[in-house]
Each structure stands twice: as C-alpha cells, then as structure tokens.
Structure 1
Amino acid sequence: MSTQALLAAAIFAGVYFLIVTERLHRTLAALLGAVVVIATGLLSQGEAFSESVVDFNVIFLLAGMMVIANILAKTGLFQWIAVEAVRITRGDPYRVLVIASIVTAVVSAVLDNVTTVVLIVPVTFFIAKRLRIDPVPILISQILASNIGGTATLIGDPPNLIIGSRLGKDFGDFLLNTAPAAIVSLVVYLAFARWLFRGQLGRRMLSAKDIDDLVAEERRIADPAMMRTGLIVLLATIAGFIVARPLGLQGATIALAGAVVLMIVSKDDVHEILKTVEWSSLFFFIGLFIVVGAVVKAGLIRDLATATLGITGGRTDVAALLVLWMSAILSAIVDNIPYTITMVPLVSELGHSVNIEPLIWALSLGANLGGNATVIGASANVVVSSMAEAQGYPITFRGYLRYGLPATFLTMVVCTIDIWLRYLVFS
C-alpha cells in the first residue's frame, strides 16, 4: 500500500473515530478531515472543491428544498397533514410510525429521498409534540423507509441514477428489478419495527373527544393563499425533477429556481428564511465528500473491491451475492455515491465473464439499503439527524446503530433471497 493510501486511510479512520465516539460534532470532524486532506496534499484545493469530489448538485438541491419546505411549513400545511395522520391512527404511536414510514417510502420513490425527508419530517415533530411521545423511533423509521423507497425507482436515489446512466437501465428496468425487493423489504421491516422499538412507542390511544379537540384546535391553514402558491411551486419543482435530465438540467437548478420563486412571492425576510436551512448538514456533506474523495483517489475502494471480486472464481451466484453484501457493508461506511461510481466499471468488467444482470441489481440494492446501517451512511440519514438535533432530539451514532444495523441486516436478507430466486434459480 502506498504512502498516500495509508495517509488517506488514517485520515478517514480518524474522522470516523471522532464521529462514532462523539468526541467532536460530526460536522466539525468532517471539516477537520477535509482540512487535513488538503494540507497534506492528498487533494489539491482545486481537486477538493471540484465537481468530481464534492457533489454540489446534492448540496444546492438540499438547500433549495429546505427553503421550500420551511416556507410551506409556515402556511400550516404540514400541521394539517399531521392532524389528519393523528385522526386516522387515533394517536397510536405504532400506527403513526407505520403511516409515516409508508408515506415516506412512497414519496421517496418519486422524489429523491433527501427532498422527501425535508418535506415530511416537520410533520413528525408536530405529531410527537401533540402526542407527547419521543419522535426518534419514528424519525429513524422514516430514514429507513426513505432509503428503501428510493431503491424502487431510477430517480429515487443517486446510486440508481448513476447505475441507470452508465449501465443503460431505464425507469421500467428498476421497477421490474428493484421495486419488488424494496416493497417486500418495507413490509418485513414494518412488521419487525414493533419489536425493534418495543418499550419506546407504548400503546397510547386518544379518545374520540381528544381527537375532536385536536382537529378543532390545530386542523387549520394559517395562510391558505400562500399554501396554494407554495403547493403550485412544489408541484412545478417535482415536475422539473422529472424532466430535468432530458433538458440537460441538474436537480439543484430546479430546486433553487423553486426556492427563489417562493421567496419572492412570500415576501418574507430573506435572512429569516435562510436561517432555517440546515447548514450543519450541508457543511458535513462537503467535508465528508472531500475526505472520501481522498480515499477514492488513493485507490483504496477500488483495490478492496477488486480483491473481493477476484475471489468469485467466475461464478455468477458468488459474484452477485458478494457484490450485494460488499456494497451494503461499504455503503454503511462511506457515502454510497462515490462507492457506486467506483463499482460501476468493475461490475461492467466482471460482466464480461459472468451474467451482468444480477450484478447490476445487487449493486443497486446493496448500495442503497446498506446506507441504512449507520447515521452517516446516506444523505437522508444525516439530514434527519441534523433536523432532530435542531429540535432538541439528538440522534447519536451509537443510538442510531442500535436500530439501523438490525433493520439493514433484515432487509439485506430479503434482498439476498430476491437475488437468489429471481436471477440464479428461476432465470
């Protein structure tokens, strides 16, 4: 291993240690790692802040959607949705968790999962406040559901966009090959969630009078005109996401355009609006992108993947399951975007000697669902944890791992069975 590779590994391990042990706030740990990467010359300043290292599309898409979500929140829209959820579930915490998770998963299939949680998580905070329950189990469940739902479609998660673009797969291919596993994974997880969060959700139910009082007090829209305008802008933004790729536009361009239009129409103070953006999440991503960029440039991920894939012995079944589990494990540690970019050419090369189809879908399922294992494994995880921290409900690395790891293992077992039966037994 080269000196550069050893140094990159040491910096990455150091940042991860600081995050896991909570010796330093995760944003500071990531930024410190980025500074060390640049100072040691692993990446030049130009490389560190280039588009190939820092995904500015993700950064500005997040910022734009946070602005849209917060302006909509002020109209009372999310409060109205929350009251409806409480009314339907009668305030039962487990039912609330199930409804919140299903809605999150479905929306994540048609929007990217980060945008989804930015829009939906404010509803969870309101419900938890009114029911006087801990929102953390529901928030963790929404993180898991967002990544599961995003796995189902081409546009739901960035790894799928990368795989689709570089390996020639379209929307229909993902619906046929990843959506079934995602649906079964969600159902199995929600059944498991009652046991996973046992003792934390309780069995509290609201009486009919309590529900009527809540509806009378809170089921109102503070600014109907602004809500209608906000929904029009939101729907236009969503439509923009769908047509952005054929038009050669990035999601960030669409999100920022929607945010600017809504800020102009709302006439709210710009400084107050920008205060609602989760800046700590954005700077965490920038720092982590740079640290992972150094690891990728040093060839560590490629070397590990190549060595692991080299033991397949030309067998499709071994290769597919190896790609699945290796992707899940590595995506829990590093961001799944650079991991997927690194793995696509390796999977393509391996496809010259074995059937490539199961490898493609194993990569998609593993990279997307593996991110559920840790609080920094996927973008949605980081955003939700930052939003929770801002509301006074910190989600620690170890606290999340307690739930994320077993849930991820369970969904990966589902995916293993799916890959085995669909492509290796009945193909």
Structure 2
Amino acid sequence: MSVVIAVAVFVVAYVLIATEKIPKMVAALGGAGVVLGVGVVGSEDAFYSHETGVDWDVIFLLLGMMIIVGVLRRTGVFEYVAIWAAKRAKGSPRRIMVLLVLITAVASAFLDNVTTVLLIAPVTLLVCDRLNINPVPFLIAEVLASNIGGAATLIGDPPNIIIGSRAGLTFNDFLVHMAPIVVIELIVFTLILPWLFRGSFAVDPERAAGVMELNEREAIQDTRLLVQCGVVLGVVFTAFVTHSVHHVEPSVVALLGAGILVLISRSRPSAFLAAVEWETLLFFAGLFIMVGAMVKTGVIGDLAGLATDATGGDALTAVMLILFVSALLSGIIDNIPYVATMSPLVAELATAIDNPTHAEALWWSLALGADFGGNMTAIGASANVVVLGIALRNGTPISFWEFTRKGAMVTLITVALAAPYLWLRYFVLA
C-alpha cells in the first residue's frame, strides 16, 4: 500500500507542477505532507536519513550562495558585467546569448552549476532590461549550458560528486574522461542556439546604440564592498576546487563564506535575506521528501534493478541502457536523488565485469546520462529550479512546458552524441 501511495502522490504532484495549476512549492510541500501524514515516511526518514531525506547539503549550499550573491549585488558588479557583455557583443542579442552561454558553461565546470546560475542570472536580467528584450530565452539557454558544462568536472554538477565518492574517481579522472565530450556537446549546443531560440533576437537599434554609449565603470557603486566580496568568493571557490584535500563539504564552505561576508560587510539582515529564494528552497525540500518516499518503498531501486538486469551481462548493453535510462529518469525525478539511488547498483554491476575499462565506462555512462538528462524538464536539475525561481521573482516566469520543450530537445541531442562517444572511447579504441 505504501508503494501505491508514494507513486500516486509523486505523480499527482508532478502533474500539478507540470500544469502549473498551483505554485510548484505548494505542490511539492503538499505531496511531502501527504507521505509524512499517512506514515509512508517518518520524520527520521525525511529529515535525518541520507538515503531518503532532504539533502541538506544542497539546501544550505543554495542558501549560502544566495546570501553571498545578495551582498554582491549591492556593489553594482552585475551591472558592470551586463554592460561589458552587451558592448563586447555590439548590442547583438544573438552574440550576447552565445557569450553568456560560453561564460556560464566554463564557469559551471570549475564552480558548481547552481552557484554559476546564481551569479549569471542577475547579469542576464540586466542586459535584457537594457536592450528591452525578453530574458526568458537567455535564462533557459544559460541553465542548459550550465548542466552541460558542469558535467566536465567532479565539482561541476552535484551528481558527479556522488559518483566520484562512490567510484573513487578524482577531479582529474572527470577532467580526462568527461571534458572531451562536454567540449563537443558545447560546440554543438552553441551552433543550434539560433535555431532553438529563433525569433528571440529582435532588438531596437536605438536601444543597442544606447548600450554602446554606456560606461561600465560607472556601474560600480561600492568598491570597498566589491573587494571584500571578491576575497570571500575567491576563498569559497578555492575551497570548492580543493574539496578532495580538506574534505569540507561545499555547503559548509558556502555557509561559512556567507557568514564571513555578512560580518565584514556589516550587512543588515533585510538586505541579504531579501535575495534568498525561499520558495525554491522549500520546493527542493518537498521534492526530496517525495522522492525519498519512493526510495524507501523500493520504487526507484526496483526500476534501476530492472534496468541493470536487462543487460544480460553484456558491458556495452549495460553502458547504453544506463545512459538512456539515466537521462530519462533524471529528467523526471531530479538527477541528485536518482544518482544517489543508482550508484550502489552500478557499483555492483561493475564488479561483475572483468574488463576494467568497460567497468569504468558504466560510471561515465551514469554521469553523462544524469547530467545531460537534468536538462530534460524544469525539475530535472537543481540549477533549473533555481533559475525558474529567479525568473518568477523578476516578473518574467518560465512555464514548466516552455522550459521542457527546449530542454527535452537539448537532452535528446546531447545524449545522442554521448552514446557514440562511450562506444568509441571505451569499446572500439580502448
């Protein structure tokens, strides 16, 4: 009975989120309330379990970075970058999109993609406001790029951290095995941008000319605060990159950085707490609890088990099946809890494969499927949810289906490119 309830609640909540009949936060918290209320999961499962509960590392990483961004916004640096980008692109929306997409993808590889979109979204909104164009296509393009670029490294996308920990893979392992296909994917993605977002690049020539006359240096409002933010962000980003050395979780680093910055900048709570996307954080909490209910009742484990059993012991079949199933399920239920559930099964399957290269290919298949599959729907990855929350607060909401129409197409293309890469590199050329 618990299985039926867990699945039914998730399906109903997902439909409500997809159709936007009610706010997605209400749908997620409502679903979480039902599975808690009827006893499918208890408080121990929802709030304290690493396997079935709220992923507090994700929640507090987001909270810390939102506070840092809130303080940073007061310096005027976002206005500076917005004007700089628009001038370098000579006011062309198409070139601006390409420039911001490349910046986002590269930054997402060396930060985490959630932090990157938190930093780049305000810049995008300002650029579009200056040019009086719709920011929605730009925000969608950037979050898709963040999920592609974040796949390149261990720290770029949360699922990679889970996979690296379970499989014993290092930062350099990800760089060597994932970065080449990510570069190819990014080139293809950049080339299809004009087609994917056709009709989104019209701009008033007078607006474009006006932007070219702006002086970006005049946008900086508080140089002292900018230096303070720069130092704190530098330390935070260094701590992210050196996680394998000090083993301090990114969530702790972000909270410490936020606390130090608030302290040294003497910011008032009303100033930085206003930048926190509370609805986004609560949505994540509810989503984690609903997915945790399906984990506890064995639904996700059974689905993943069926996928691995269907391979028949053939390594190439296993790699391809994991790739496509991971892309599909990560797009539906969020790639973080999916990878957390699937990792033990991949580890077990890898031990049954004699060829170490083929066994390792299973992990890269899981990473590529989960990272690229996160682009499929509006709730497939953490970065997607964050950008939708920012857009809503800015008064330019992105609907579930508007995002999914673009995201599903990009997922299809990226996964289609990943399949021959896995086959050639680990089975033909190995």
* TM-score (norm: length of structure 2): 0.95
**Could you tell me which residue of structure 2 aligns to residue 128 of structure 1?**
128
**Aligned equivalent of 2:4, options 6, 10, 14:** 6
Residue correspondences, number: 424
Check whether the contact 1:137–1:200 (CA below 8 A) recurs between aligned residues.
yes
Distance 1:219 1:254 in 2: 32
**Could you tell me which residue of structure 2 aligns to residue 138 of structure 1?**
138
Distance 1:368 1:389 in 2: 24
- In the TM superposition, residue 306 of structure 1 has moved relative to its aligned partner by 1.1
**Could you tell me which residue of structure 2 aligns to residue 317 of structure 1?**
316
- In the TM superposition, residue 203 of structure 1 has moved relative to its aligned partner by 6.3
**Could you tell me which residue of structure 1 aligns to residue 166 of structure 2?**
166
Q: How does 1:138-287 map to 2 (within 5 A)?
A: 138-202=138-202, 210-215=210-215, 219-287=218-286
Which segment is superposed worse, 71-80 or 308-317? 308-317
Check whether the contact 2:131–2:207 (CA below 8 A) recurs between aligned residues.
no
State the Cα deviation string for residues 10-50 of structure 1 (Å, max 9, x = none). Answer: 11101101101111111010000110010111111121111
Check whether the contact 1:317–1:420 (CA below 8 A) recurs between aligned residues.
yes
Moved over 6 A (4+): none
**Aligned equivalent of 2:361, options 351, 358, 363:** 358
State the Cα deviation string for residues 385-424 of structure 1 (Å, max 9, x = none). Answer: 0000000110111111111110111111111121121112
**Could you tell me which residue of structure 2 aligns to residue 50 of structure 1?**
48
Check whether the contact 1:92–1:204 (CA below 8 A) recurs between aligned residues.
no
Check whether the contact 1:79–1:219 (CA below 8 A) recurs between aligned residues.
no
Distance 1:103 1:51 in 2: 37
Check whether the contact 2:130–2:211 (CA below 8 A) recurs between aligned residues.
no
Check whether the contact 2:131–2:211 (CA below 8 A) recurs between aligned residues.
no
Distance 2:329 2:232 in 1: 38
Distance 1:390 1:152 in 2: 30
- In the TM superposition, residue 160 of structure 1 has moved relative to its aligned partner by 0.8
Check whether the contact 1:90–1:207 (CA below 8 A) recurs between aligned residues.
no
Distance 1:382 1:298 in 2: 26
**Could you tell me which residue of structure 2 aligns to residue 29 of structure 1?**
27
Amino acid at match of 1:383: V
- In the TM superposition, residue 202 of structure 1 has moved relative to its aligned partner by 2.7
Amino acid at match of 2:379: I
- In the TM superposition, residue 353 of structure 1 has moved relative to its aligned partner by 3.1
Q: Aligned to 2:214, what secondary structure does the other structure show?
A: helix
**Aligned equivalent of 1:371, options 370, 374, 377:** 374
Check whether the contact 1:153–1:178 (CA below 8 A) recurs between aligned residues.
yes
**Could you tell me which residue of structure 2 aligns to residue 409 of structure 1?**
412
Q: Aligned to 1:332, what secondary structure does the other structure show?
A: helix
**Which residues of structure 2 form unaligned runs of 5+?**
none
Which segment is superposed worse, 15-24 or 248-257? 248-257
**Could you tell me which residue of structure 2 aligns to residue 96 of structure 1?**
96
Distance 1:281 1:288 in 2: 11
- In the TM superposition, residue 352 of structure 1 has moved relative to its aligned partner by 2.9
- In the TM superposition, residue 175 of structure 1 has moved relative to its aligned partner by 0.9
Distance 1:365 1:140 in 2: 20
Amino acid at match of 1:298: T
Q: Aligned to 1:374, what secondary structure does the other structure show?
A: coil
Check whether the contact 1:92–1:206 (CA below 8 A) recurs between aligned residues.
no
Distance 1:231 1:351 in 2: 43
- In the TM superposition, residue 212 of structure 1 has moved relative to its aligned partner by 4.0
- In the TM superposition, residue 91 of structure 1 has moved relative to its aligned partner by 1.2
Amino acid at match of 1:230: C
Are 2:389 and 1:390 equivalent residues in the alignment? no
Amino acid at match of 1:409: L
Q: Aligned to 1:178, what secondary structure does the other structure show?
A: helix
Distance 1:133 1:208 in 2: 11
Check whether the contact 1:152–1:182 (CA below 8 A) recurs between aligned residues.
yes
State the Cα deviation string for residues 361-388 of structure 1 (Å, max 9, x = none). Answer: 0000001110101010000000000000
Q: Percent identity of the aligned residues? A: 45
**Could you tell me which residue of structure 1 aligns to residue 117 of structure 2?**
117
- In the TM superposition, residue 172 of structure 1 has moved relative to its aligned partner by 1.2
Distance 2:175 2:241 in 1: 16
Check whether the contact 1:90–1:206 (CA below 8 A) recurs between aligned residues.
no
Check whether the contact 2:323–2:369 (CA below 8 A) recurs between aligned residues.
yes
Which segment is superposed worse, 266-275 or 7-16? 266-275
Q: What is the aligned-residue RMSD (CA, Å)? A: 1.5
Distance 1:121 1:425 in 2: 41
Check whether the contact 2:163–2:367 (CA below 8 A) recurs between aligned residues.
yes
**Which residues of structure 1 form unaligned runs of 5+?**
none
Distance 2:114 2:323 in 1: 23
Check whether the contact 1:91–1:204 (CA below 8 A) recurs between aligned residues.
no
Distance 2:238 2:349 in 1: 37
Q: Aligned to 2:174, what secondary structure does the other structure show?
A: helix
* TM-score (norm: length of structure 1): 0.96
Counterparts in 2 of 1:209 and 1:339: CA distance versus 1, 3 Å: closer
- In the TM superposition, residue 200 of structure 1 has moved relative to its aligned partner by 1.8
